[in-house]
Structures are given as structure tokens and as C-alpha cells.
Structure 1
Amino acid sequence: MKKYIRIMRIDHWVKQLFILPGVAFAELLIKSYPHDFVFRLIFVFLSTCFIASANYVINEWLDAEFDRFHPIKKHRSVVENDVKKSVVYAMYAALTIAGIVCAWVSGAKNAVWMEIFLWVMGILYNVKPIRTKDIPVVDVLSESVNNAIRLLIGWFIVTDVFFPPVSIVLGYWFGGAFLMDVKRFSEYKMISDKSTASLYRKSFKFYDERVLLCMACFYAMISSLFTGIFLIKYRVEFIILMPVMIGLFCYYLFISFKEDSAAQAPEKLYKEKGLMLFVLIVIILFLILLYTDIPHLQELLSNDLLRL
């Protein structure tokens, strides 16, 4: 039974905490919570975990023939063990149903649609004939859109009436694209052989280290652009966050050069003490700026030229 539990990747559930910024942004802009907020949060979080595990199950099953070319993933349960197809698909169905039921029970009706969206993206990413995972550039964008979906899930825990600003949704999406691209860069660098890397991930036939690094810079700049638009539009004081957030992008890229980098497995990023300190600084600075007015920054929004 243990070999089947492993493919659910329960240790990856920590990544579902990415719904929390959506909750925070909704509270910031709407300034209220529904009376059943805690109930919604618990059940929607469980729903996201179950749907994510359903996607992990189908991913491990369909990727088994490719994962054997990866120095770490070749030890995954489906690759190493005699796993029955019928059990895998039964788990997939059960996790999908559990996820949708939890979302429905939560009462957050739009979150239900977002959970279904997250599940559909798992199919598009993993299942032929589309299998976006094999298409260069599309692989990164289709995997990272899950980041934006998680933001929307968190947002719709708080409100069923309003849609979040498109700028922060795009900023979150391309921030995720940066993470997924750097993950590929770290994997490619570790495998260090293009032919073997291409057997593991077909999109590596197109990529090399230079392409992946250039794309990482592009995604980071696009994410910073849209995030900056959101921050300065809704609270100008947040613009002070931008240099720190850009530094966070740089530090994340830095750790991707490490051997067996945690960038390949985001669920292990908590082991990177420097990165965790950076994230803590961002959170503390965010909270300070949330409640601190700096009138002189309003001049940045003025169309008037500065007088000498």
C-alpha cells in the first residue's frame, strides 16, 4: 500500500499554501471576510490538496517511461515498483471526486470551478495527444498557470462577487513560470547530457542552459512588471517591496546552480535557510507597508514635472 501512497505526493501538499496570497489580496482590497471563512478555507485547502494529488498520480503513471532517465526520479514508486494500472486509475478517480466534493461543501462556488480548472490543466499537461509538457515554452506556461489558479482559489474563498485585478493574476502566473523554468534549468544542468535530458523531457530537445536562463530573466521581468502595476495602483507604499522581490528572484536563481538544487523540488525549499529568511523579510515588509502611509510616495503617481 505504501507504494501507492507515495505517488499521491502528500509531502507536496505544502505547495497548496500558494492559495494564501489570494486570500491576503482579497482581504486587502475587499476588507472583509465571509462569516464562514475558516470553514471555507479548510475545505478549499483540502480540495486543492486532493486535486493536486490526483494530478500527481496521473503524472507519475504517465511519466514512468521517461522518469527512468532522471537520476532522482528513477526512484519514484511507479518506476521502481510493480504498480497496477487499475489501482492507479481508481486512486485518480477517488482523489478527483474527493477534491470536487470538498470544494462544493465549502460553499465557495467559484472555488469549485477553479478546482475543476486545476484538474483539467493536469490532464492537458500530462495526457496525449495534447500533453503540453512536451511542447517547449508551452510546457512552462501550462504548468505555471497552476500558480495563477491557486491565487484565484484563495481569492474566491473570500468573495464570490468580485474578480481579482488581472495585473496580480498575471504577475503570479509569470512568477510561477520563472520557478518552473528555473526548475528545468537546474534539472538540465544536473543531467548534463542533452541526449539523456531529451529522453527524460522531450522539450529539452529545444532547450539548453542559455535558452533557459534567458527565459527565466524574461519571466521574472514580466512578473515584476505586472506585480509592480498592481502594487502601485492599489497601495503606492508597496512599491518599496519591489527591489526586495527582485532580489528574491535573483536569490532563487542563485540556488538553482547548486548540485541537486531544491529548485528541482519546490516542496523542499524550506531547507534553504537563506531563501526562507528572504521570504520572511518580504512578509514582514509587506505587513509594515500595509499599515504605514508614506505621503511623499504619492508624488510618483503625479503627472506633473518636478520643478528645479
Structure 2
Amino acid sequence: MPTKQESIPVTDALPAPPGKLADYLSLARFDHMTKHVFILPGLVLALALQPPIFANLVFKVPLGLLSAICIASANYVINEWLDREHDAAHPTKSKRRAVVVALEPGLVYGEYLFLAITGLFLAYIVGTLFFLTSIAFLASGVLYNVRPMRLKDKPYLDVLMECLNNPIRFLLGWAIVDGLTLPPVSVLAAYWMAGAFLMAAKRLGEYRDIAQTAGIEVLSKYRRSFHYYTEESLLVSCFVYAMMTAFLTGIFLVKYRVEYILVFPFMSGLFAVYIWLAARPGSVVQRPERLFHSRRLDVMLAACLAVFIFATFVDMPFLDFIATPSFLSLPVLR
């Protein structure tokens, strides 16, 4: 029989503390705003290929960026809320506020609706194409996170669906400048495959870290699609997505602007640095909000963007021979 000094063991876990305003705001992941850099190439390309009305841009650019931030944050809110049980199995995501504090479902869904409606309202002001693209942006978050679809649980579809936000962001940038036409399909598809490479590399980094330390069972609890992946299959998929990006970009530059061939070496370097980062323990590719903490990646991305902008606005006729069929003539021996 225990004495007064002996403690009686507690079998029930302590209840989670109630959520505060900061906890609800953290669901929106405003620190992920850096991802909206993917809007810029669409905006720059539209400026190069279509005559813009600059007076409208002063008005549309800030509204468009604010709209994209609101819709992306709405997707993050529903993502983090519906993933809270799965995130509990992840070594770092288990510290997310939806996991460790008690949040009111009504307030979470209210936050989602507020961000979604605000984003769509701003998108409607920007223009019709921007508004329709924003609806697709919001719908992608539903398809990715919400049952019965929940494509994040399907191998390969999880990567292709999540990175669909890349061409959507590109189209948002394009629609800010030109709301009457669509960008070339080849560049949208190339942007999609580039995003697939980045996302597959992120999966590879997660697989290497978590599977080696906690085991594949823990990884499968965090995300069901990992049950079907192996380190080799993820590495091969990275290679395929990189090849498809190069192929589709080649189609675009031959048809529209051969000067973009100058970007290829820098793009290759950017992909090489990213896959190198994915192979490192505790890689920053697993936390996109910290990607710009890598100096090598920053240098390669800055170089890539600088050459892209240069090739967009500077004509180089001497490169036309690349897109012109020609054959070398050999001397005739007699």
C-alpha cells in the first residue's frame, strides 16, 4: 500500500492546451510566401511576349500577389488541419500547432473560408483569367488534401498534384500582365515537370532521413504514399522529371525564343544543387520555407533568373541557326 510520500502513476496523457490566436495564424504558414517567386517567370515572360499596359500593372501586381498569398494560405490551413493525425508520426512536423494544441474546428474552417473568399475576391478584381486560375489553385488544395480524393496518399500522383501549383502560379503571373491569352502549353508543362522534380527530391530527402532513423513504418504513417516508394524509385523519378523539363523547355525555346538556350547550363546547375541538397542529412529541401538559407542554391537561382531575364529582353539573332535545319557538307574526294 503506497505511503503518502509515494506518487501514484498517471496513466492518462495531459490534455492539449487550448489554441491561441497565434496558433490559428500559424496554420496559414505566411512564412512560405517565398514560394510565390514561381509567379515571377510567368509575369516576366508575358512582359516579353505580349505588349503590357504598365498603368494597370501598378494596380494588378500587388493585388495579384496578395490574392495568391491568401489562397495558398487557405490551402495550408486545410492541409495542416486534416493532416494533424499523420503529422504526429513525423519527427519535426509533430511540433506543428494543429498537433500539439487543441484547436476549434469551427474556427479553423472559418479561417479557411475567410482566406479563400478574400483571395477569390481580389482575384476577381485582377481579371477573369486570374480569377479562373485562382479557382483552380483553391481546387488543387481540396483534391490534394480532402477525402475521398486525397491524392497526397497516392504514389506519384501525390508529387504531380502538389507540384501542379507551379504551372498554376506561372499562369497567375501571366494573367496579371495578359488576361486575354494563355501561355504556351510547352512552357506550362515544363514548369510542371520542374516542380515535380523539386517535389520528388523533397520526398527523397524525407525518405532517406526518416526511413533510416525511425523506420519505414513511421514514414508510412506520416504519409501513405511512402509505403509504395523506395529510395531508388524516388531517385529515378527525379531523373525522369528533370529530363522531361529539359525536353519540354527545348520545345518552347525552338518555337518561341531561342535565346533561352543560354539558361540551360544554369538550370542544370540549379537541378544539380537541389538533388545534392536532397541527399544531405536533415536537408533544407524538406522545409521549403528554409530553402533560401542555402547559399549555393541562392547563387544558382539568382544566376538562373538573371540569365532568364537577360535572354527575355535581349535579342540574339546569331543564335537562330540552332532552330534552323542544316547539314554539314563534306568535300568530295576524286
- Report the TM range for the smaller structure's normalisation: over 0.9
CA distance in 1, matches of 2:288, 2:238: 16
Stretches of structure 2 that go unaligned for 5 or more consecutive residues are 1-20
Q: Which residue of 2 aligns with 1:258?
A: 280
Percent identity over the alignment is 40
Is residue 69 of structure 2 the alignment partner of residue 27 of structure 1? no
Contact 2:130 / 2:176 at 8 angstroms: preserved in 1?
Answer: yes
Distance 1:81 1:69, change over 3 A: same
After superposing the two structures, state which structure 1 stretch, 163-172 or 185-194, moved more: 185-194
SS of corresponding position for 1:36: helix
Q: Which residue of 1 aligns with 2:205?
A: 186
Structure whose residues are more often helix by fraction: 1
What pairs up with 1:27-66 in 2 under 5 angstroms?
27-66=47-86
CA distance in 2, matches of 1:284, 1:131: 38
Contact 1:27 / 1:33 at 8 angstroms: preserved in 2?
Answer: no
What's the RMSD between the two structures over aligned residues? Answer: 1.3
CA distance in 2, matches of 1:262, 1:13: 16
Distance 1:291 1:145, change over 3 A: closer
Q: Which residue of 2 aligns with 1:15?
A: 35
Stretches of structure 1 that go unaligned for 5 or more consecutive residues are none
Is residue 102 of structure 2 the alignment partner of residue 77 of structure 1? no
**Amino acid in the other structure paired with 2:125:** V
**Amino acid in the other structure paired with 1:120:** A
Question: Structure 1 residue 230: deviation in Å?
Answer: 1.4
Contact 2:263 / 2:307 at 8 angstroms: preserved in 1?
Answer: yes
**Amino acid in the other structure paired with 1:7:** L
Q: Which residue of 1 aligns with 2:268?
A: 246
Q: Which residue of 1 aligns with 2:196?
A: 177
What pairs up with 1:131-280 in 2 under 5 angstroms?
131-192=150-211, 193-280=215-302
After superposing the two structures, state which structure 1 stretch, 200-209 or 36-45, moved more: 36-45
Question: Structure 1 residue 240: deviation in Å?
Answer: 2.1
- TM-score normalised according to structure 2 size: 0.89
Contact 1:133 / 1:139 at 8 angstroms: preserved in 2?
Answer: yes
CA distance in 1, matches of 2:101, 2:246: 43
Contact 2:48 / 2:313 at 8 angstroms: preserved in 1?
Answer: no
Question: Structure 1 residue 261: deviation in Å?
Answer: 1.0
CA distance in 2, matches of 1:64, 1:139: 18
Contact 1:228 / 1:242 at 8 angstroms: preserved in 2?
Answer: no
- TM-score normalised according to structure 1 size: 0.96
